[in-house]
Structure formats: structure tokens, C-alpha cells
Chains A and B, each alone.
Chain A
């Protein structure tokens, strides 16, 4: 029988939540790496028992952990993240040049073909690559070396490379997103990169057609249609039907189009989910009501999903990597909050239940469907 395994990164450790295919009863394992910030945990699609975790601390820096038994035991692997060559400068918040400094890994993306191959998205923004299970890391410096690098600027959360999407159909194609530089695409495995931000509009930018500088919060893709991308930007929900060459806004009837997460239904490539957040200065749901919004038309027309979610006095946030979908016959949808709750829906978002209520602030949620 199928099983579902949730990999939850929190402000104070990692948790592994497992359930059978019904997704009603859950076992909770953790905290793993107690006391450390776990920005992301993700499993290899090639070998689901192989997990990678980003463990970090303002005091002790970055650690990468690896598991070969689905998170029961862990082994510390390489943490030497050095920028290629002279790092140079990017823009600081006040527009002055600021040296590139490695701070942490926000996102780990295991390869679609090889369990020992994994990508890491870093703050200050850079993409690193390991071919030996995380022991050694090399920067794919063509990205940071893109001519626009000196103009990149941090968002409020730091200048982080937070999204990595590997194209399952076009070899060597990778999408990444950086807050607040924007989205980029490579078609040659990371040697050269193209900014893909046409059509994005950002109020805070004087040049509305600027090639870089947009605060992209997250991007999602359905593997059956890798040329179609959905984006939750700082403000605005966007879609692209041409691999990011251009974007159109699909915020439609959302009550607010600010937010962080976005994801796509496992079996319906035009069904997408967001969690609207009130504004960039008030990072919580509108009117204290936690609502997931679902569009079955790839955007523009949205419906609120509230059954089982708190509809009063709820002032949590849902961070950019904290939503995931499983691939069970009836798609499960999961998200975690800064209040420490992880909610799950076993019916594509129609109804929700809290799986756990009192974890540390949730930074990321990934899910594995195991057979």
C-alpha cells in the first residue's frame, strides 16, 4: 500500500511525518538536528530513501545532512560552499555595492536522474552543484556571473536563491528564482543563464521593464508541462506558457495577490493553489482567516478553500517553500505555517485537517509518495 512521507523543516529542527495512503493518522519523528534552523529537506526522486537536509545556524554556519533510510539516520556531508573566483559585489539595500557572502542554503533540489546529484540554492544568491551525494560542492558560477549580478539586491529575507526547478523533458534546462533579482533559466546545464522576467511589474521599481530586480517569491511547475510555469511574486500571481519567456498576471479575483507559496495539483496541471497574505507589511492572512485559494483554470478564477482551516484569529504566515502536493490518486495538498501547524488535505484542497499543531515555525514542507 502506498505511503506518504512529509519532510518538514522548521526554525528549530526537522520533522518527518508519515502516514498510509488514507492520510488520516500520522506518525511524527523529530526533532532531527534539534535547535538548528532547517531551511529545507527533500528526497531524491530516483531513490526516495535518499534525503538531503539543509541545517544552518547564525552561530555555526551551514551543515548539509544526508539520509539513506528515509530520515531515520543521518550523515553529515560536505559544507564547503565557496564562490567560484573573486565573488565581487551585488547591491545592498541602500543601493551601494556589497560583497557577496555565503550565509546559508535555502533549497536543495535532488537530480531527477541520479540520487548522488543535487543542487543547492544559496544566500547570497548562487547555485551550487554536487555529484557525489553532497560531499563536494561546485558553484555553477555562470548564474552569478551573469552580467546583471552587480545589480541584484536582497529582498527582506536576504538575497536568497530559493527556487530550483529541473525540467523533466528538456535536458540541461533549469529554472531558478532569486529574491529580489528575479527568475532565470539555463538551457545548457548551468553554464549560461537568461533572465526570464518579461511581463513582471513591481511597484517598487522605477523601470518597470527592468531585466532583473523583481522579488519572485516562488515558482511551481507541473512535470507533464514543464514549459508552463506559475509564479507567486511579491505582489501578483503570474503564469508563463513559454518557459518563462514572458509572463501574464493571473491574480484575477484573489482578495490579495501578495503571498509566498504556489503549487500545482499532481494530476490537474491547470489546478493551482496559493495562500493569499494580506500585504508586504502585514504577513498574515486577511481578517484572521486562513484560506487556501484554488484555481482550476490555471489562474484568474479562484475559489477559497476554508473547510477545516481556522476562520478567525489566525495570524500566521505560510513561507515560500512550505507547500507541497503528493501524487496519490486523490491529490494531497500540505502546507506549514509560522505558527507551527502543518495542515493536510487528502481531497485536493476541499477539506483540511491539522496534522501537527505545535511545531516550531515551519520553513519548508516537501512530500514523498512512496509505493
Chain B
């Protein structure tokens, strides 16, 4: 059981309250968790990772066990505490530096 905590706007899109619980097969990596998340909640495709490149969107960060893993390889194994469901994967929107549209 993998726990994922999404920011409010993504919970609204996914129509979920609280944490998302996922069953992920195989090695528990960030990629595997996000693949499963997007498979179960296809409305989140493109909102966390860009289409095509699957790059993390610039103003989102990934935290596990108090550590920012945003710049690590998505194929690294996540900590055991996450794999065992004791700790969640946190998807967090940057508090500062969000891109403000300049529409005119």
C-alpha cells in the first residue's frame, strides 16, 4: 500500500478527499508510483508530469520522509517507510515562485 498526498487542486481534479491509497506492483520507485497514480486517476495526467517527456512540472516538488527527492532519478527506490505505507509520498506545489500568467 502506497500513500500519496496531493495538493488541494489535484485532489479536486481527482475527486478525492485526503490521501490517495495505491497498490503498486514491483519495485517502489517514484516513476512506478506516479504511473499507477495516473493510471488510476487519468484526470491527473499532464498535471504532475509533462506529457511526452514525463518531466516533473517545474513548480511541483516530491517529498518523502522529510526529504526533497525532486531532483533524484525517478527510478531510485523510495524509502522502505514509503513502500510499507508508513509514510506518504508528498506532492507539493511550490509556495513561492509560481508562474503567474501575464495575459493581457
Contact of A319 among B8, B48, B104 (CB under 8 A): B104
Q: Given A59-B57, A60-B47, A80-B51, is A157 in contact with B94 using a C-beta cutoff of 8 Å? A: no
Residue from the set A36, A62, A76 with the largest chain B CB neighbour count within 10 Å: A76
Is A260 in the interface zone, CB < 8 Å from B? yes
Q: Inside 8 A of B8's CB, which chain A residues have their CB? A: 35
Contact of B101 among A37, A63, A155 (CB under 8 A): A37
Q: Is B27 an interface residue (CB 8 A)?
A: no
The reply on A238 being an interface residue by CB < 8 A is no
Number of residues on chain A facing chain B (CB within 8 A): 32
**CB-based contact A60/B101 at 8 Å:** no
Residue of A58, A80, A104 touching B45 (CB-CB under 8 A): A80
Is A197 part of the binding interface, using a Cβ–Cβ cutoff of 8 Å?
Answer: no
Q: How large is the interface on B (under 10, 10 to 19, 20 to 34, 35 or more residues)?
A: 20 to 34
Interface residue ranges of A203-217 to B (CB < 8 Å): 217
CB distance from A237 to the nearest CB of B (A): 17
Residues of chain A with a CB closer than 8 A to B50's CB:
61
A327 at interface by CB-CB < 8 Å: no
Query: Are A319 and B103 in contact, CB atoms less than 8 angstroms apart?
Result: yes
Q: Closest approach, in angstroms, between the C-beta of A73 and any C-beta of chain B? A: 13
State A63–B46 Cα separation when bound (angstroms): 9
A33's closest neighbor in chain B, by CB? B12
CB contact between B99 and one of A58, A156, A319, A363 (< 8 Å): that residue: A58
**In the complex, what residues of B have CB within 8 A of residue A57's CB?**
9
Instruction: Give the residues in chain B near A63, CB-CB below 8 Å.
Output: 13, 47
Chain B min CB distance to A164 (Å): 16
* B residues near A160, Cβ cutoff 8 Å: 103
A62: contacting residue among B10, B46, B100, CB under 8 A: B46
A256 on interface, CB distance cutoff 8 Å: no
Nearest B-chain residue to A57, judged by Cβ? B9
Does A158 reach chain B (CB closer than 8 Å)? yes
- Which of A37, A60, A82, A317 is in CB contact (< 8 Å) with B52? A82
Asked if B43 is an interface residue, CB under 8 A from chain A, the answer is yes
Smallest CB-CB separation from B14: which chain A residue?
A76
**Contact (Cβ within 8 A) B9 A59:** yes
CA distance A113 to B53 in the complex (A): 35
Measured CA separation A337–B104 after assembly (Å): 11
Name the residue of chain B whose CB is nearest to the CB of A40: B103
Is B74 interfacial (CB-CB < 8 Å)? no
Additional A-B contact list (20), CB under 8 Å, known A11-B101, A59-B60, A76-B43 = A37-B101, A39-B101, A56-B101, A58-B59, A58-B99, A59-B9, A59-B94, A59-B99, A60-B10, A60-B48, A60-B93, A63-B47, A79-B45, A79-B46, A80-B46, A82-B51, A155-B104, A156-B104, A158-B101, A283-B104
